[in-house]
């Protein structure tokens, strides 16, 4: 799955986590073909080659689901969200604290909405959220 792109995401830098996300998506694009991946995600092939981290979780999941290594897109999305929420619970981390520690321009409420899927978030933003949660849990 996408959330396990790195075995211990809190032990690597945020940039390394972002690269791991990119690698997972790029591998899926290579397997499925750029045309099929772009169609599944509803994006241009140019975005797939130059801006993978700008994909939303749903778009990335639709690409990953094209391969035999992943379940359907909905399962990928729900598992990723569940992983973040469980990490927040394990780390005793509320959304306002998370907002103060993550380097994205979102309030605690907006981060909560992004995690819950009520508003779109890019893989870049989700990597930043994921990293803060993972670091907190590995303390």
Distance of CA 123 to CAs 55, 59, 139, Å?
Answer: 6, 10, 24
Run of H or E residues at 36: helix 34-41
Question: What local confidence, expressed as pLDDT, does residue 128 receive?
Answer: 97
135 CB contacts (<8 Å, ≥6 apart)? Answer: 10
Which structure tokens are listed for 48?
Answer: 């797939």
Q: What is the DSSP string of 100-134?
A: HHS-SS--HHHHHHHHHTSS--BHHHHHHHHHHHH
CA torsion 7-74-30-27 (nearest 10°) is: 0
Question: What local confidence, expressed as pLDDT, does residue 1 receive?
Answer: 77
Question: Per-residue pLDDT for the chain (139 aa), expressed as one digit of tens each?
Answer: 788 899 999 999 999 999 999 999 999 999 999 999 999 999 999 999 888 999 999 999 999 999 999 999 999 999 999 999 999 999 999 999 999 999 999 999 999 999 999 999 999 999 999 999 999 998 7
Sorted by where each begins, the domain ranges of the chain are 9-137
Residue positions counted in the chain: 139
pTM: 0.94
Nearest to 62 by CA among 80, 50, 46: 80
Question: What local confidence, expressed as pLDDT, does residue 77 receive?
Answer: 97
Question: What local confidence, expressed as pLDDT, does residue 51 receive?
Answer: 87
For the four alpha carbons of 26, 80, 65 and 118, in that order, the dihedral sign comes to: negative
């Amino acid at each position: 799955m996408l959330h396990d792109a790195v075995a211990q995401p809190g032990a690597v830098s945020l940039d390394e986590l972002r690269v791991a996300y990119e690698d997972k998506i790029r591998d899926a694009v290579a397997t499925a073909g750029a045309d099929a991946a772009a169609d599944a995600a509803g994006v241009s092939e140019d975005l797939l080659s130059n801006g993978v981290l700008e994909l939303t979780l749903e778009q990335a999941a639709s690409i990953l689901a094209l391969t035999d290594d992943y379940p359907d897109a909905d399962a990928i999305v729900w598992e990723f969200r569940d992983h973040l929420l469980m990490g927040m619970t394990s780390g005793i981390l509320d959304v306002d604290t998370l907002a103060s520690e993550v380097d994205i321009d979102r309030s605690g409420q907006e981060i909560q909405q992004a995690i819950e899927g009520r508003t779109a978030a890019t893989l870049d933003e989700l990597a930043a959220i994921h990293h803060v949660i993972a670091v907190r849990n590995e303390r």
